[in-house]
Amino acid sequence: MDALGYDSGTLEQLVRDRFDADAVQSMFRRGDPDGAVVMARLARETTADAGFADLAMPLSVLTADLSAQRPVSLTEDGVADGLVAAMTAPGLYPPARRGDQRLVDAGRSAHEVACTPPAARNCSAM
């Protein structure tokens, strides 16, 4: 969030104000249809609907595209959309759509996506 120009104190207060107990419970309750909606609203609010081009410093958000089975680095369009895609946990939320891409959190799934099948891409297991 430094890229948005927030200092650490402002950022902490912003997150504490937005991510209250009800929002967090809604986001992480499996099967709650409002979870993804709440997550998108919080992402828009905390980024002030900024685009990547509006940021004070470069930012790249890593996601994984389930359709193409590869990692995708987001650096264009809305920051909130990129954050939502990066927070989309497979099995908890439906993939975020961006054109033909179906984007999910890359932290847990990028290795599997990028290395499917491992032998064909010369990837080692983690």
Whether 68 maps to a domain, the answer reads yes
* Cα distance between residue 104 and residue 101, in whole Å: 10
Whether 126 maps to a domain, the answer reads no
* Local confidence band at 33 (pLDDT 50, 70, 90 cut-offs): low
Q: Which residues of 14-30 are buried (b: 16+ CB within 10 A; e: fewer)?
A: beeeeeeeebeebbeee
Whether 110 contacts 62, CB under 8 Å: yes
pLDDT, mean of residues 1-17: 78
Whether 112 maps to a domain, the answer reads yes
Domain limits for position 113:
2-121
Whether 44 contacts 74, CB under 8 Å: no
For residue 36, pLDDT beyond 90:
no
* Domain total in the chain: 1
Could you tell me which residue, 115 or 55, shows the higher pLDDT?
Answer: 55
**pTM score of the predicted model:** 0.70
What 3-state class would DSSP assign to 88? coil
- The DSSP secondary-structure symbol of 1 reads -
In sequence order, the β-bridge partners of residue 61 are 74
Alpha carbon 24 to its chain's center: 15
